[in-house]
Every structure is written in structure tokens, then in C-alpha cells.
Amino acid sequence: MIGKKEWFKRRKYAGWGLMPATWQGWVYTLIMISPLVVMSLTQVNEIILGAIVVWFVIFSVDMADIMIHVPKDERDSLHEAIAERNALWVILAVLATGVAFELAQNVAQGKEAFVDPVIIIAIIAGLIAKAATNYWLDKNN
């Protein structure tokens, strides 16, 4: 679309996504982000809000297209899979600890045992995604 895959590299150490690898990538990023910053600092009305949404959609679709086409070798894929797995384990541990803490706190205060349903939905959704992925991989490999 607008940006080129050669301008970016896969972000390895600071989250997910892409990082500019050339000066063109940095210029592209500044050009795409600056209108969002400028529009968000102005008085928000329906037109500005619509422009922000349209610009954000264009930027997101273009970045997704670039992310799909950034090449990865087998080692990059394996490292990313291990990193994603480890990140998921940490996220699940934090969510489970949060559920236990919330339940213990409510019980200690004599309140009804209540847990934020979003946390429970996140844990169940992760379980379903893992089970579906394992089923698909076992069936197709």
C-alpha cells in the first residue's frame, strides 16, 4: 500500500509489531502518527473524530499489510513462538493470581465472592484458543 516492508523489521525485544529499520521507515511512522496527534489535540467534533477514525483505519490496514510481508526465517518463527508461549504463561499466571486475590479479598471483607467476568472470559478464551490450535495442528500435521 503506502509503506514498504524493506523499511521495517520485526520488533523482537520491545513488544509486538514492527520497528523502523531505515530512515524511510521512521519518516513513514512520523507522517502516519503526526495527523493523529494533531487531530487529537484540536477541539474534537464529529468531523475531527471521523477523520481520526479514517486515518487510524488506513494506518492500521497499511501496517497490517507490512507486518504480513516482513520476512521471517525458521529461527525467527521458532523464537517468536517460544516468546509468545512464555508471554502467555506469564499473562495467565497474573490473571489467575488476580482472580485468587479478588476472591480472597471479597471473602475476607465478608462480601459475596465476585470476580470480574472479563478476567474469567479472558482465561476461558485463552483455553479455547489453545485447544483449537492444538486440535488443528494435530489434525493437519
CA 128 – CA 125 distance, rounded (Å): 5
DSSP, res 49: H
Give the DSSP letter string of 95-126: HHHHHHHHHHHHHHTT------HHHHHHHHHH
For the chain, first and last CA: distance in Å? Answer: 34
Mean pLDDT per 10-residue segment, the chain (141 residues): 76 68 89 79 78 85 83 72 81 87 88 84 84 84 72
Residue 107 is which amino acid?
Answer: V
pLDDT at site 49:
79
Every domain of the chain and the residues it spans: 5-69, 74-140
pLDDT, residue 12, reads 63
Geometric angle at alpha carbon 72, from 68 and 74, rounded to 5°: 135
